[in-house]
Structure 1
């Protein structure tokens, strides 16, 4: 196992892309809220009364944003765990940085083509698969590294 040091450029890269993803994830809630206010559809009666709208759970625009947010919640935490474990295998800095960058860009593109400017498939699928490939690759590398160490 390779020690994780803050002086390691791969670790620094992981920190930067992890922070970008955390901010992206945090921005999804206000995006949903803004969309609800703009469209006058709310999930709670008290919000609808205050906002002058109605309770509605099936607004297509709001639901697309919510599904994009849920998809982030299913994929980004796995990246955080797998990326950190991957760093313990001592990957080359350039390769690790490329993986972190591809994952981050893929997740941003996924949100854009799913929730902000809906594009037809395969745009969303390709963005999803780019990030999924990175997670699967890092997970496989961690498993192979530590199986051979046993």
Structure 2
């Protein structure tokens, strides 16, 4: 039998692909915030950010003003931080329970698609109910994996 945490295990390989996508999503959202800050020349958070530097040759107090575009990107990243780390942890432990491949692929795919749909809904300013639906789908996936691990650990 191969180890559960190798690419020879198709469940782990599926997890690894989903995890890589979600890590790229999480890190990419941070970079998107930086791009938007540069593009709008706004959204700085800390007083020291108004020092004259190579990156900010013309600091102005209005750069500290709230910028809705930058703030929306920050909120998207904050939401990712509320769910992606839990997926990464629960998914990794879930793999060690040796679930059926179809169950694992279904859960991993559902989580990734729900996060991407949530991002699209947030980026296009959809109402809260739509965003909450996508967040909830992903959250339920993480809960299912955690419960699966609990059951497997007591059997």
TM-score by length of 1: 0.87
Gaps of 5+ in 2: none
Task: Indicate the RMSD between aligned Cα atoms, in angstroms.
Answer: 2.0
User: Any idea what the Cα deviations from partners look like across 1:5-52, whole Å, max 9, x if unmatched?
Assistant: 321111110111111111111111221112112222131214784366
- Displaced runs of 4 or more, over 4 A: none
CA contact (8 A) 2:3 2:9 kept: no
| Change in 2 beyond 3 A, CA 1:57/1:77 | farther
Gaps of 5+ in 1: none
Number of residue pairs matched?
146
SS in 1 for 2:128: coil
Q: For 2:57 and 2:131, how far apart are their aligned partners in 1?
A: 35
State the partner residue of 2:37.
36
Does 2:147 correspond to 1:147? no
Does 2:132 correspond to 1:125? yes
SS in 2 for 1:26: helix
